[in-house]
Structure 1
Amino acid sequence: MIRIGCSGWNYRHWRGVFYPDRLPVKRWFDHYAAHFDTVEVNASFYRLPEASTLAKWRDQATPGFCYAIKAPRFITHMRKLKDCDESMAEFLGRARNLGERLGPILYQLPPRWRFDRDRLERFLDLLPADLTHVFEFREPSWLEPEVLALLDSRGIGFCAHDMPGLATQRGAAGTTAYVRFHGASGKYWGRYSEEALAGWAEWMRAEEAKGRTVWAYFNNDIHAHAISDAKALRRLIEEL
């Protein structure tokens, strides 16, 4: 299974480019879901959504649609995975309001925080096995075989990404392959070439053949490049 979407859907600068000029904002999600079967929610990184909001997202989704949801920065950046039992219980409890529409949970760790195996292992113990968990690293010491092996042994996914200055290797772990495209020309902007996307399409098909589910999200929302690139990548995958 390969799912491709964008990192969010509520971008006002997409009006007139992706969303028709006269389409009300309250119908933007319906328009997005008519084109894609998944979306990555970044708003939860800054503020934990209310349970009622998540339930509303669940109910508005079309059959088969899935949300990837980003863990709060309080857990990943402020606490740096330490003493998070109560915070994780609250976050996951709310996330479960998405029901069958809940896809991967993304834990983006901060830059300038070096690999801490003991803290990571203790945090992994908090993660329920019935949910899909993925880690995105922004510091080079986490991008070592030891870390990927640890994630793989726990069935936890690794996020490959191309954040300028912090890009990772093209890799996967556990049962899940996950890719974030942050922009071909700079942070959150720039179209990807057909050649670049073709290489990723082949890699994703290879990971799917290994039995992994594959999720890919475009975060280059400026000028709605994410929409065009997500459609182009999906076409290339379908052609393989």
Structure 2
Amino acid sequence: MIEWRRSLEPFYVGTAGWGIPKQHAGSFPGEGSHLERYARCLPAVEINSSFYRPHRPATYERWAASVPSGFRFSVKVPREITHTRQLLNVTEPLDRFLGEVRALGAALGPLLVQLPPSLRYDQAVAERFFGDFRERFDGQLACEPRHESWFGDAAEAVLTKHLVARVAADPAVVPRAARPGGWSGLLYIRLHGSPKVYYSAYSSDEVEATARCLLATSAKARTCWCIYDNTAAGEAAGQALDLLRRLR
């Protein structure tokens, strides 16, 4: 049985990657690959490996064929675009990336642009990058800036203009970074773990607060995503399942 089909749309809850840690293996029963077992219990996953290396379209096709109808993948934009080229002169790697991820077909969810902490906001660069991105891709797009200069009204206006949701992240680099911004049609929350990034678990009260945020925002956002990235000690899988139960 696919457990998450009892959940409420438009919520997509998952983890960064579909690894199943030993302490939560019993919550992902059945035969098959880790992805197949994962996708029976959670409705979404964030592909982070695309940040480090390209994947062949055939690989994305195989992943899409491994999950049930309604499951969604978000995909992280390559670091060549965001970190190496810093949003400049990205036509070739962006076209290549989009050609790869489109092989997910109906299972493709938002694309995630995570910016390096050192990348300051530049109006002209942001306008050009997101404008060019939108000429090539009309799906959902989220951006996680990590320099404080991205959290002013000018950056908010550019993101909204190009229908880009600003990620609500924890830990937050500035207070405004903890709240969603940009285009309101998509909510995308990324929980990296705090106080120890990638390791720390969130308390029951914190999971409940995230559930309340998702429920409150769902009235205006067409889709609501929450990805747990506190995977280093295996906390993410259990917390994603806990959040999904609360949303029911």
TM superposition shift of 1:25: 10
Q: Provide the secondary structure at the position in 1 that maps to 2:234.
A: helix
The residue number in structure 2 matching 1:108 is 114
Task: Go from structure 1 to structure 2 and tell me whether the alpha carbon gap of 1:236 and 1:24 turns closer, same or farther (over 3 Å shift).
Answer: closer
Indicate the larger mover: 54-63 or 41-50. 54-63
Q: Structure 2: which 5+ runs fail to align?
A: 1-9
Q: Which amino acid aligns with 2:166?
A: F
Encode CA deviations 1:23-70: one digit per residue, 9 max, x unaligned: 999621111111101000000000011111111111111111110000
Structure 2 CA distance for aligned equivalents of residues 176 and 119 of structure 1: 23
Aligned residues with identical type, % of pairs: 31
Encode CA deviations 1:70-127: one digit per residue, 9 max, x unaligned: 0000000000010111111110111100000000000000011211111111011122
The residue number in structure 1 matching 2:155 is 147
Query: After the TM superposition, which residues 91-130 of structure 1 pair with which residues of structure 2 at under 5 Å, given as runs?
Result: 91-127=97-133, 128-130=136-138
TM-score, normalised to structure 2's length? 0.87
The residue number in structure 2 matching 1:135 is 143
Task: Go from structure 1 to structure 2 and tell me whether the alpha carbon gap of 1:36 and 1:196 turns closer, same or farther (over 3 Å shift).
Answer: same
Q: Structure 1: which 5+ runs fail to align?
A: none
Q: Is 1:169 aligned to 2:178, yes or no?
A: yes
The residue number in structure 2 matching 1:185 is 195
The residue number in structure 1 matching 2:6 is none
The residue number in structure 1 matching 2:13 is 4
Q: Is the 8 A contact 1:7 1:219 kept in 2?
A: yes
Indicate the larger mover: 171-180 or 113-122. 171-180
Query: After the TM superposition, which residues 1-240 of structure 1 pair with which residues of structure 2 at under 5 Å, given as runs?
Result: 1-10=10-19, 14=21, 16-19=22-25, 27-127=33-133, 128-163=136-171, 168-174=177-183, 175-238=185-248
Encode CA deviations 1:145-192: one digit per residue, 9 max, x unaligned: 221222112211111111375672312332211010101331111221
Structure 2 CA distance for aligned equivalents of residues 157 and 166 of structure 1: 17
Query: Superposition RMSD on alpha carbons, in Å?
Result: 2.0
